[in-house]
């Protein structure tokens, strides 16, 4: 299997579009399309590394020099908040899994990582909302005359 076929297979296994993979790697979807078609076989080292990071595999896996699931996606799981003891346990269990089980585990890890990314984005949005509310409160306090604490009495 050539590089482009491996990229397409891994992308589809994760349910990603070419645009999604391009976003994760930081390249245009048209570049992903050319790589998958085999039209762009001499990809740069940075693109190869970006693809490897996006898929959670070693670059050698993409080049066909190593099995597809050479090791567990530890970097993804670490980023999602797994502790070192959990990661060591997963790494110790990895050799006993079949290739199909490794694929299934990797897909599950992708889901956990994606959910973690979404949660982090939601937390950032919540913090931004709080900052906006505080700024509105400060503006309103500056516009209220000093010593005036309630409604006007006529």
CB-count burial class (<10 Å; 0-12, 13-18, 19+) for 4: buried
Residues 22, 40: contact at Cβ < 8 Å? no
Q: What does the pLDDT look like over 121-151, one tens digit per residue?
A: 899 999 999 999 999 999 999 997 766 565 6
Was domain 1-68 assigned CATH 1.10.260.40?
yes
Question: Cα separation of 140 and 116, whole Å?
Answer: 36
Taking only the tens place, the pLDDT of each residue in 67-122 is 665 667 777 788 888 888 887 888 788 778 887 788 888 888 888 888 888 888 89
Cα 113-118-123 angle, rounded to 5 deg = 125
Report the chain's C-alpha Rg in angstroms: 24
Domains of the chain by residue range: 1-68, 69-142
């Amino acid at each position: 299997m050539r590089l482009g076929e491996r990229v397409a297979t891994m992308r589809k296994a994760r349910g990603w579009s070419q645009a999604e993979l391009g976003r994760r790697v930081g390249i245009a979807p048209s570049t992903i399309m050319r790589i998958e078609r085999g039209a762009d076989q001499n990809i740069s080292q940075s693109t190869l590394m970006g693809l490897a990071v996006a898929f959670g595999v070693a670059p050698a896996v993409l080049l066909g020099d190593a099995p597809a699931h050479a090791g567990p996606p530890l970097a993804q799981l670490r980023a999602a908040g797994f502790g070192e003891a959990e990661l060591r346990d997963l790494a110790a269990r990895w050799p006993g899994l079949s290739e199909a089980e490794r694929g299934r585990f990797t897909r599950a890890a992708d889901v956990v990582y994606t959910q973690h990314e979404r949660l982090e984005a939601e937390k950032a949005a919540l913090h931004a909302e709080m900052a906006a509310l505080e700024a509105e409160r400060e503006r309103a306090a500056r516009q209220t005359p000093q010593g005036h604490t309630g409604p006007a009495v006529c």
